[in-house]
Chains A and B, each alone.
Chain A
Amino acid sequence: MQLTALYALVLSASGAAVLGITIVLVFGFRATSVQSITGAVRSNQFSRDFVAITIGGAIALAIVAVASVWVAWLLAGRVLSPLRSITLVARDISATSLDRRLALDGPDDELKELGDTFDGLLGRLDASFSAQRQFVANASHELRTPLARLKTLTQVALSDPSADAASLRTAHERVLASEQQLEQLIDALLTLAEGEQASGRRAHLDLGNVAARVLDGRTAEIEGSGLRLDASLEPTAATGDPRLVERLLDNLVDNAIRHNEHRGWIQVSTRGGAVSVANGGAPISAEELEQIKQPFSRGAGERPGRADGYGLGLSIVQAIAAAHGAVISVSAPGDGGLRVEVQFPPDSPRAESGD
C-alpha cells in the first residue's frame, strides 16, 4: 500500500511537472514575443489557448494519475513479491520443518541478499535442532543397557524361589552399584550437552596446573592398574571454562587408563597452550581410529570387566574443545596405543582471572 501510494505520487508528480513545465515554456515564449506579459494575458487568442491547454492538460493529468495508481500497484507487487514469499514461508516454518528454504532466484539485488541471509539462518537453526535431536536419541540409546541391568537384577532376585535376606541384600548392593554407574553416565551426557553449547565463562587458566590436579585425582587408579605415568607439565596459559577444561583432561586421562594394556604407560604433557595425553596398548587400525572419533563409539579392546566404557569420553572432549575453539588431533602410533593432543587458542586478554 505504501509503495503503491509512493509510486502513484511520483508518477503523478512527474506528469504534473511535465505539464507545468510545458505550459510555462510554451506560454513563456509566447509571452516574450509579445510586449508584456499583462498584454499577453489580455490577448484573447493567448487566453483561449492557455485555457484550452490548461484544461486539456488537467484532464490528461487526471487520466495519468489514475493510470499511475494502477501501474504503481502492479510495479509494487512485482518488487514486493520476493518479500511476500519470504513472509509466507516464514509463517509456515516451525521447528519440525526447518528443511524448507526460500531459494530465491532473480537478479542479484538486495532482496535476493535478504532471501539468502534468511536461508542461511534457517540452515544454522536446522543444524542445531538436528544435533539436539541426534543427541537425545543417542543418550536414550546409551541409557537402555544400564536400565536393563537394573531391571533384570531386580526381577531375577525377586523371582528366585529360594530368595532370602542375604541373597536379596546382595542383589540390592549390585543394584546400587549399577545405579551409581547410571548416575555417572547421566552426568557425562549432561557435560556433553553443556560442552556442545558455547560456554559463556572464560577465565585465565594454567593448563599445567589443571593437568596436575586431574592426575592427582587419578593417582590411585593409575597405580592400581599397574600403569607407568610420565608427566611433563610446563606452566602454559589458556582461556576457558575451568570446570569444563578440567573435565576434558579428566576424560582424556580416563580413556588412557581404560584403553591401556597390562603394565602399560601413560604420558601427559602440557606445553605451548596445548595438552597431550598418550597411552600404550594394542595397535589401532585406521578404521578403528575413525570409529573412535565418532561420538558414542567404543573402540575394540576394552579391558574385560570394565563395563563402564560408554565411549562418551572422547565425544565430551570433542564437544568441550569445539566450544573453546581448541583443535584436537588424534593419532594411533604404529607400535600401539593412542595419542590425543588438544591445542587451545592463544590466551585472550579479556577473560576474567581464574584457576
Chain B
Amino acid sequence: MRVLVIEDDEELAETVAAGLRSARMAVDVALDGTAGLSRARVNDYDVILVDRDLPGLHGDKVCAELVGSGCRSRVLMLTAAASTANLIEGLGLGADDYLGKPFDFGELVARVVALARRAHPSVPPQLSHGDVTVDTAQRRASRGGRSLELAPKEFGVLELLLASQGRCVSAEELLARVWDEEADPFTHTVKITISRLRAKLGDPPVIETVAKYGYRI
C-alpha cells in the first residue's frame, strides 16, 4: 500500500508519515500542492492525503486537479475547517473522504485502509489463499492460524499478491506499489524481499514465480 501525504506543516506531515509507516505502508511526503501533484503524476498511490489549507496551490485545487486528471488514487482531505458545511463542500470537490483536525490517528489509519481497498477493483478487508490470511485493517498476516512476523515490505508484497487474486504481478509493479521513493530501482530489493517472504511463509510454497514476468499467488 502506498500513500502520499500533502501537508505544509512539516512536523505534522512527518509524524503522520512515520505513523503510517509503522502501519506497514509506504509513504511519501510533499510539503505543498505543486510538489504533491507532480509526485502523484509520476507515482501510483493508493491513497493521497491532502491538507486543504496549503500555501500557493490551495488543497481544493489540488483535489480538483487529481480527480479531473483521472488519477485512480483515492483522496482523503485533512482540514482544520471541520463543520458539516465544509465537509459537504470538500466531498463535493471530489474527495473520497474528509477528516477534521485534530484527528484520532487510529481513525486516520482505518480510513486510509478502507479507501485503499476501493482503489482497485473492490477488495475485501480479509484476504486469504489456502491457509494464508492477511487482515488488511489490523495489518497482520498469519498462516494456519499461526501469526507471521513480517517486515513492512514483506507484508506489503504479500498483501498485494493476495489482493491481485491470481493475477501475475511484475517486479516493477511491486516496486511501484509497495515501496516508497527511497527505494533504489536498480537493486534486487524485490527479489530479496520475495525470498525472505517465502522463507517466512514456509511450506507448502505459496508464491509462484512466472518466468520473465513476475510473481503470483
Give the Cβ gap from B133 to chain A, nearest Cβ, in Å: 20
Distance of A121 Cα from B8 Cα, bound (Å): 43
A141, A142, A148 — most chain B CB neighbours (10 Å): A148
Residues of A within 8 A of B10 (CB): 304-305, 307
Which positions 119-173 of chain A face chain B at CB distance < 8 Å?
Answer: 141-142, 144-153, 155-156, 159-161
Distance of A156 Cα from B13 Cα, bound (Å): 12
The number of A-B residue pairs with CB atoms under 8 Å apart is 76
Let me know if B103 is at the binding interface, CB within 8 A.
Answer: yes
Interface size of B by CB at 8 A reads: 26
Residues of A within 8 A of B55 (CB): 298-302
Which B residue's beta carbon lies closest to that of A151? Answer: B102
Q: Is the CB of A149 within 8 A of B12?
A: yes
Distance of A144 Cα from B31 Cα, bound (Å): 18
Let me know if A174 is at the binding interface, CB within 8 A.
Answer: yes
Residues of A within 8 A of B100 (CB): 144
Give the Cβ gap from A306 to chain B, nearest Cβ, in Å: 9
Q: Given A142-B80, A160-B22, A300-B55, check contact A151 B11 (CB 8 Å).
A: no
Give the Cβ gap from A134 to chain B, nearest Cβ, in Å: 14
Which B residue's beta carbon lies closest to that of A297? Answer: B55
Q: Is the CB of A147 within 8 A of B102?
A: yes
Q: Is the CB of A141 within 8 A of B15?
A: no
Give the Cβ gap from B21 to chain A, nearest Cβ, in Å: 10
Q: Given A141-B80, A152-B15, A178-B11, check contact A147 B22 (CB 8 Å).
A: no
Let me know if B106 is at the binding interface, CB within 8 A.
Answer: yes
Residues of B within 8 A of A144 (CB): 80, 82, 100-102
Q: Is the CB of A149 within 8 A of B56?
A: no
Q: Is the CB of A155 within 8 A of B8?
A: no
Taken residue by residue from 149 to 166, chain B's Cβ proximity to chain A (1 for < 8 Å, 0 otherwise) reads as 000000000000000000
Q: Given A156-B15, A298-B55, check contact A151 B9 (CB 8 Å).
A: no
Give the Cβ gap from A335 to chain B, nearest Cβ, in Å: 21
Distance of A307 Cα from B78 Cα, bound (Å): 17
Distance of A334 Cα from B8 Cα, bound (Å): 27
Taken residue by residue from 61 to 78, chain B's Cβ proximity to chain A (1 for < 8 Å, 0 otherwise) reads as 000000000000000001
Let me know if B81 is at the binding interface, CB within 8 A.
Answer: yes
Residues of B within 8 A of A150 (CB): 102
Residues of B within 8 A of A151 (CB): 102-105
Residues of A within 8 A of B11 (CB): 149, 153, 174, 177-178, 307
Q: Is the CB of A152 within 8 A of B8?
A: no
Q: Is the CB of B8 within 8 A of A156?
A: no
Residues of A within 8 A of B51 (CB): 145
Taken residue by residue from 9 to 34, chain B's Cβ proximity to chain A (1 for < 8 Å, 0 otherwise) reads as 11110011011001000000001000
Q: Is the CB of A156 within 8 A of B22?
A: yes
Q: Is the CB of B18 within 8 A of A148?
A: no
Which positions 263-295 of chain A face chain B at CB distance < 8 Å?
Answer: none
Residues of A within 8 A of B18 (CB): 156
Distance of A156 Cα from B103 Cα, bound (Å): 12
Which B residue's beta carbon lies closest to that of A140? Answer: B80
Taken residue by residue from 324 to 351, chain A's Cβ proximity to chain B (1 for < 8 Å, 0 otherwise) reads as 0000000000000000000000000000
Residues of B within 8 A of A145 (CB): 9, 12, 51, 53, 80, 101
Taken residue by residue from 103 to 118, chain B's Cβ proximity to chain A (1 for < 8 Å, 0 otherwise) reads as 1111000000000000
Distance of A151 Cα from B8 Cα, bound (Å): 17
Q: In the complex, which of the residues A155, A178, A301, A307 contacts B105, with contact meaning CB atoms closer than 8 Å?
A: A155
Q: In the complex, which of the residues A147, A148, A304 contacts B31, with contact meaning CB atoms closer than 8 Å?
A: A304
Interface residues of A (CB under 8 A from B): 141-142, 144-153, 155-156, 159-161, 174, 177-178, 298-302, 304-305, 307
Give me 8 A-to-B residue pairs in the complex whose CB atoms sit less than 8 angstroms apart, sorted by A's number. A148-B101, A148-B102, A151-B104, A155-B19, A159-B106, A174-B15, A178-B11, A300-B56
